Amino acid sequence: MPAARPLAAPAFAVLQIAMLVLALSAWMGTPARAQMAAPDRMALGGYDPVAYFTEGRAVPGERGIAVKWRGRMWRFSSAANRSLFEANPHAFVPQFGGACVVALSEGRIEAGVPTEFLVHGGRLYLLGSAKRKLELAEALSTRLDRAAAHWPELRGELASR
């Protein structure tokens, strides 16, 4: 019977890392496989939802300043913004589930882009592009009314994506 060969250094390092991940996940009480299979979805592409209102611009959130709400991870640029969100999340989340308000006004679902937005009437609306933002500005109240009218029939389509 031939003698067993020692593992090559790279293979041994991979094995050590895998064992460490399994040990840490057991220590944390969550299986590693479950952690890898079901990562939390990132809301707004990691942008801070409060900053749209306080700074008037899309501000990237910090990895260490986050909260899980409704199955998504929401990141913030400051602990103060996180606290504001936690006190009243509905005040800061995008309307229509983050769908482009112009496409919705046309009876279609199109993903909104976190860097293309409008804050109006104390609400955050996302748009699919800079062109869509111009289209919204041309007929703001009409587009918002039409989007609200189409939302009940199309919201299920957004959830299935």
34-82 pLDDT, tens digit each: 222 334 589 999 999 999 999 999 999 999 999 999 999 999 999 999 9
Average per-residue pLDDT for the chain = 81
Rounded distance between C-alpha atoms, residue 97 and residue 105, angstroms: 14
pTM for the structure as a whole: 0.72
Q: Report how far apart, in Å, the C-alpha atoms of 86 and of each of 62, 98, 101 are.
A: 16, 19, 25
